[in-house]
Amino acid sequence: MNIGIVVHSQSGYTAKVARLLGAEFSKKGHDPHTVLLRTTGKVAPGSTSFEIRNAPEVDGYDCIILGAPVWAFRASPVIMKYLGGLGRLSGKKVLCFVTKGLPFLWTGGRQALAAMEGELALSDAAMLPGEIIWAPACRSEAKLQPVIGRMVAACAG
């Protein structure tokens, strides 16, 4: 299965989840391709005046995983801009995840995930259950293993 893993990450937690996902998909015999979204200039919560320099096409993927940090109770503007440009995703599985620093789900995790999934509502993708990951857990690969396992099983199942 061809898997696209497309994430925005500023301090590296979301990127680490992406790296572990890629390793787990490879171990299971899949073909993952990971892209860390890069922008022109600095981006902060609420930014609109930036461009994504390396937005990947997703035509070749059977499954797409999209990840981003929660910023100021929202999904990062970078991933939202990328999702807004995706168009139709008929026949593809899609799973969104966010990483977040504050410990409760109501401090932006649910809102951010709902916004990402909402942006894809008209894409015709087969949406898989999203994940909210607490950033401190990202410091330990062992702590991340259950969520990595769930995401890989959902995509490859």
Ligand X SMILES: Cc1cc2nc3c(=O)[nH]c(=O)nc-3n(C[C@H](O)[C@H](O)[C@H](O)COP(=O)(O)O)c2cc1C
Which residues would be at the binding site for ligand X (CB under 6 A)?
9-15, 45, 69-73, 99-102, 107-108, 135
Q: Which is nearer to ligand X, 71 or 92 (CB)?
A: 71
DSSP 3-state of 140 = coil
Q: Where are the beta strands (DSSP E) in 22-62?
A: 31-36
CB of 43 to ligand X, least distance (A): 10
CB of 141 to ligand X, least distance (A): 15
Question: Which of 53, 57, 70 is closest to 108 using CA atoms?
Answer: 70
119: its two tokens: 């942006």
Q: Which is nearer to ligand X, 64 or 98 (CB)?
A: 98
Burial call 3-12: b when 16+ CB within 10 Å, e when fewer:
bbbbbbbeee
CB of 118 to ligand X, least distance (A): 18
Q: Which is nearer to ligand X, 7 or 89 (CB)?
A: 7
CB of 26 to ligand X, least distance (A): 21
Distance between CA 50 and CA 122 in Å, rounded?
A: 25
Q: Which is nearer to ligand X, 63 or 70 (CB)?
A: 70
